[in-house]
């Protein structure tokens, strides 16, 4: 018996080669880059001071509409503040919230997920029951409790994100680690006397990194919408700080006279989330193909 054809089985690791680069999602990357640039250099980029009141210029429509002025390309709100400048300024909160969620929720979730998966038994049961409890209180409901007890602010938003969003990572990381720890190299490392923290960092973490990154990008949109919802309800960012959700809350009373004040911040939220979701889908397809959906 001789095999006519030989099939080379390549390692299942995804590599970035030229064709992968050609398939990069350029538009989402562009939008996200603009967002980050606005978050860092917002003060220099904004044409006007985002918080300066100018009642004489209140409720000006966007530049292309009759009565509008190109000095305020996206119009002004009820207090005469430039909407474009406020959208640029609001990018900062969205980026802060997204990065914080990735680092804190991702970090907590990864650690607990690895512990639950690796140690199994009691540790697993305890951690997974905490996950269950956490998932039985909707994030927004928890935010309502905290907002009543503490003064609503960026920190209450961040506390709720830290308490809420880790459980998702923990569940998926746990499942991943349960299968990883069966592998020979983990067993051998343990027999060779490698300490548990080293096994976690050297042998488990690199293997779950792809999954973590994919989960994190897919979560960015959710977290940004969560912050916007809280700020819209008046339970998150407070004036004079600028947030897209807060802009929508301010504009709500003027819905009959100023459509642009309602529309523009929402488009900013939508574009950001769309870009983050598309980028996340691309990351998943490229780095974590087994989680790809049809």
Summarize as ranges the residues that interact with other proteins (CB under 8 A). Answer: 129-130, 132-142, 144-150, 221, 225, 228-229, 232-235, 245, 248, 252, 255-256, 259, 262-263, 266, 269-271, 273-274, 277-278, 293-294
Cα distance between residue 100 and residue 165, in whole Å: 11
CB of 134 to other proteins, least distance (A): 8
| Nearer of residues 27 and 188 to other proteins, judged by Cβ | 27
CB of 249 to other proteins, least distance (A): 9
Residue recorded with tokens 């080669």: 17
- SS3 annotation, 77-124: CCCCCEHHHHHHHHHHHHHHHHHHHHHHHHHHHHHHHHHHHHHCHHHH
CB of 101 to other proteins, least distance (A): 16
Burial of 34 (0-12, 13-18, 19+ CB in 10 A): middle
CB of 143 to other proteins, least distance (A): 9
| Nearer of residues 189 and 230 to other proteins, judged by Cβ | 230
CB of 275 to other proteins, least distance (A): 9
CB of 87 to other proteins, least distance (A): 14
Beta carbons within 10 angstroms of residue 10's beta carbon: 7
| Nearer of residues 43 and 125 to other proteins, judged by Cβ | 125
| Nearer of residues 130 and 213 to other proteins, judged by Cβ | 130
Beta carbons within 10 angstroms of residue 90's beta carbon: 27
| Nearer of residues 72 and 226 to other proteins, judged by Cβ | 226
Residue 100 in tokens: 């914080």
Using CA of residue 70, residue 72, residue 74, residue 77, what is the dihedral sign?
Answer: negative
| Nearer of residues 63 and 234 to other proteins, judged by Cβ | 234
Beta carbons within 10 angstroms of residue 195's beta carbon: 10
| Nearer of residues 55 and 65 to other proteins, judged by Cβ | 65
Using CA of residue 10, residue 215, residue 268, residue 39, what is the dihedral sign?
Answer: negative
CB of 130 to other proteins, least distance (A): 7
Cα distance between residue 41 and residue 45, in whole Å: 6
SS3 76: strand
- Residue 135 neighbours by CB under 8 Å, 6+ apart: 167
DSSP-assigned states of every residue in 166-199: HHHHHHHHHHHHHHHTTSHHHHHHHHTT--HHHI
Q: Which residue from 196, 136, 206 is spatially nearest to 176, judged by alpha carbons? A: 206
| Nearer of residues 89 and 261 to other proteins, judged by Cβ | 261
CB of 291 to other proteins, least distance (A): 13
């Amino acid at each position: 018996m001789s095999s006519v054809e030989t099939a080379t089985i390549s390692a299942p690791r995804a590599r970035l080669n030229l064709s992968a680069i050609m398939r990069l999602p350029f538009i989402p990357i562009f939008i996200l880059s603009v967002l980050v640039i606005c978050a860092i250099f917002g003060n220099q980029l904004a044409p006007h001071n985002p918080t300066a009141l100018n009642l004489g210029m209140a409720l000006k429509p966007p530049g292309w509409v009759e009565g509008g002025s190109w000095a305020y390309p996206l119009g002004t709100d009820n207090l005469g503040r430039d909407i474009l400048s406020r959208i640029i300024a609001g990018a900062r909160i969205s980026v802060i919230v997204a990065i914080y969620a990735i680092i804190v929720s991702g970090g907590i979730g990864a650690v607990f997920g690895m512990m639950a998966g690796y140690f199994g038994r009691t540790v697993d049961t305890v951690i997974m029951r905490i996950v269950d409890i956490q998932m039985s209180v909707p994030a927004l409901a928890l935010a309502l409790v905290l907002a009543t007890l503490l003064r609503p602010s960026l920190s209450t938003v961040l506390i709720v994100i830290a308490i809420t969003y880790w459980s998702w990572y923990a569940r998926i990381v746990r499942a991943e680690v349960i299968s990883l720890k069966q592998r020979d190299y983990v067993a051998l490392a343990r027999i060779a006397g490698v300490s548990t923290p080293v096994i976690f960092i050297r042998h488990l973490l690199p293997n779950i990194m792809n999954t973590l990154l994919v989960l994190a990008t897919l979560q960015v949109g959710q977290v940004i919408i969560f912050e916007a919802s809280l700020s819209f309800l008046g339970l998150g960012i407070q004036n004079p700080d600028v947030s897209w959700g807060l802009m929508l809350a301010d504009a709500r009373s003027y819905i009959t006279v100023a459509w642009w004040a309602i529309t523009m911040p929402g488009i900013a939220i939508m574009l950001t989330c769309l870009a983050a979701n598309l980028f996340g889908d691309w990351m998943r397809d490229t780095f974590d193909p087994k989680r790809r959906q049809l």
